[in-house]
Every structure is written in C-alpha cells, then in structure tokens.
A and B are shown apart, each in its own frame.
Chain A
Amino acid sequence: MVVADKTKEDILKLLSQIADPEIPVVTIQEIGMLRDVNISDDGIEVIITPTYTGCPAMGIIEADIKALLHEHGYDATVKLVYNPAWTTDWMTDEAKEKMRKYGIAPPTHSSCGDIAAAEAEIACPQCGSKNTEVVSRFGATACKALYKCNSCKEPFEYFKCH
C-alpha cells in the first residue's frame, strides 16, 4: 500500500468531512471526536475518542472512516482512546452555531462541575429566550437533554456540557 504521498494533514482533512451520525450538521472533527492520525509502514491508524462511553454511534463512525479511506485506496485501522476524556470544550464555535441553527441548544459552560448551574440558563435555539426549563436530563441520545421554552412554547434538545 502506498501512503507515502499523503501527509497526516491530508488524511485529517479528508476525514474532517465525515458527519456525526446523530447530529449530521456537524462533523466528527468539529465535535472533537477525531483526535489524530498516525501514518507508518503498516498503514494508517486513525485515533478517535467517544463522546460517551456507551455512544452507539462509534461503530458507525469507525465504519465511515474505513469506508472513506478505502474509497481513496487506503486500508486503515481505527483506535478508540479514552485519554484524555472527551469534553464539550473541544467543540468549535462554528459547530455550536451550526447545532443551534439545527434546533439543538449547544453546550454553554465549559466542562461544568455544577450541573444545576449549567442547566439554569439555556437559551431556546428557536427564539433565544432564556426562560426555559428542563423536561428531562436524558433525551433521545446520551448527549442530549429535553427542554421546553416558556416564551415560544417550543420543545427543544440541549447538548449537555460534559
């Protein structure tokens, strides 16, 4: 296999187009799951980190990475690392803005210690009002909580800070 013609940056750039299967408006790079790429004589090793330990999307992401690289003629292995632990702090501002436009309130505080304080002032992604309340801390996926807006009355999801 020939990988010598590609640099680590080329591969990272290629991989940065892969969307998060659960929030398709952001990429795995923007959300902070894509950590690193190692190129050696043995081939390409892609390092990813899970958002949540039980994130069911990890299998799909691994398959997406392998498929994309395969399309470009490379065989890759994907390695899951836990250290350092993923945090919503790694999410780019662009990703947060895309998420908000998609209807999901992005995480506000950085790696919060105090859950209650972080939950207190979540702005509605529809109307911007901060008069919102938690319906449930656990939504359709592990990373999101359910909220409702008391101003525009719309329900919405909030990407929990982590």
Chain B
Amino acid sequence: MADLNELKYTYSLRLGDDAWILSHRLSEWCSNGPFLEEDLALTNLALDLIGRAQGFYKYAAELEGKGKTEDDLAYRRNERQYFNHLLVEMPNGNFADTIARQLYVSVFEYYFFNELKNSSDETFAALAAKTLKEVKYHMAHAVDWTIRLGDGTEESHWKMQRALDSLWMYTGELFEMDEVDNELLQQCIAVDVIALKAKWQEHIERVLKQATLKQAEDAYMQTGSRKGIHTEHLGHMLGDMQYLQRAYPDAKW
C-alpha cells in the first residue's frame, strides 16, 4: 500500500487540477461574455475556482514536502501530469456549450463537496465546507441558464440540447473510483463517487425536464484523465496558460 501522505497528495492534486483547469476555461470568457453582467458572472466563477485550486495545491505541496509552492504545481507540469476530469478541459464552444459543462460539473460538485466536508481529514473537510458554499451559487447559475436556454427560443433550445448531448460522454468519468479513491475511502477520507451517481442523474433529469430538454442517450463513455490521458484540448490550453512561466521562469509581478 502506498504511503497515506502520497495518496492524499494525489487526491488533493486531482481536486486542485479540476478547479484550476475549469477556472482557466471560464477565464477565457473574460471580455467575451454575451453581456456585461454575464461576463462578470463567469469571471466570478473562475475566481472562486482559482481560490479553490490554490487551497488544494497548497495542501498537496505541503503533503509532498519537497518545498514546492502552489504556483509550481499550477504552472510547472506537463499535460500527462495533470489529473483533471476530461469534462473540465472541454473548450468553451458557444455559450450553451459552456452552460452544459457548468451544469454537469456544478451539480456533481454540489454532491461531492457535500460528502467531502465530512472527511476525516481536517484540511479536506475545511476546504470542502468552504467550497460547498460557493458551489451552490455556481449550480444556481447553471440551472437558471439551462432552463432559460432550453425553454427559450427554437435556436437556444437546439443549441442547448446539442451541447448536453455532445458533453455526455465525458460525464462517466466523474463516477469512477481507482485505487487512490478506494484506499482513502477506507479511511473515511475520500468520497464514494459511485454512490453519488444516482443523485446526480436525478438532479440533472429534474432540471432538464423543467428546461424542456432531453437527457442525453447512454453512449460510449470516454475515460483516462486520472491516469493523465487527456483529450487533444488540454495541451493547447496549457501552451497558452503556461507560456509566461515557461518563457520567463520565476517571473514576478
């Protein structure tokens, strides 16, 4: 069995990566939002996620004990060393694509952090309690927009439906457990995500019904991110995100 600190390091890194990569995606909306208030909303979500990533990266660095900072973890790794879910690296696409991604992710995170706040690890529990308060607002934002677009015009309806359908294949991964999850679950540190699947699905179904949209049909589910296997999109994104730190190592403001 791997050392407990090593397992917690991996777990914290994964949670940091999920927040960090989604944060960067949302920040790409800055100055491109459909209107000013929405531009602010999306960048507000991005800011919450940066803060969350910082918390989990700090803890990961502490557990690793090699004197790294949260910035080293954010900027100094290659594609294969990131463990975020594939769903959060999906490009923004049009506004409906972004909202569909936000809906799937935020409903999942709502149930996830609701469990993680009871973790026997104090730091995970504290970060989860904090995050949960923020996620409630993220979820409300995604749900409102899903209903507004789904039950909106003919065009907004089909765009929303297409977005939900095309992202569906990346949602299967959210409910996978590997050896890290299982070993930490035995110690009451990690969340049993398999047990969250039914609640998540029911919640999504309820929202989609109200939005006059259909649940995507079950299809092949893509997987791999927890092993560092990503879609083509992550590398491009990291190229953009890490440019400054790579070109000017240790650059400071």
Q: Which residues of A contact B (CB under 8 A)?
A: 50, 52-56, 81-87, 111, 115-116, 135-140, 142, 146, 160, 162
Contacts of B129 in A (CB 8 A): 82-85
Contact A54 B54 (CB under 8 A): yes
Tell me the complex Cα distance, A81–B122, Å.
11
B185 CB–A CB distance under 8 Å: no
Interface stretch among B42-50, B168-176, B193-201, B228-236?
B42-50
The B contact surface, by secondary structure, is helix
Known: A52-B47, A54-B48, A138-B40. 9 other contacts (CB 8 A): A53-B55, A53-B131, A82-B130, A87-B133, A116-B140, A136-B38, A136-B41, A138-B44, A138-B137
Question: Closest B-chain residue to A49, C-beta based?
Answer: B130
Main secondary structure of the interface of A (DSSP, over half): loop
B: interface residue count bin = 20 to 34
Question: Which of B40, B51, B125 is close to A52, meaning CB atoms less than 8 Å apart?
Answer: B51
Interface residues of B in 108-167 (CB under 8 A from A): 122-123, 125-127, 129-131, 133-134, 136-137, 140-141
State whether the Cβ of B24 lies closer than 8 Å to any Cβ in chain A.
no
> Could you say which residues of chain B place their CB within 8 Å of the CB of A52?
47-48, 51, 134
Question: Which residues of chain A come closer than 8 Å to B240, judged between CB atoms?
Answer: none
A56 to B55 alpha-carbon distance, docked (Å): 14
Q: Does chain A have a CB within 8 A of B37? A: yes
**Contact A135 B51, CB 8 Å, known A85-B133, A115-B140:** no
Contact B48 A136 (CB under 8 A): no
B123 touches A53 (CB 8 A): no
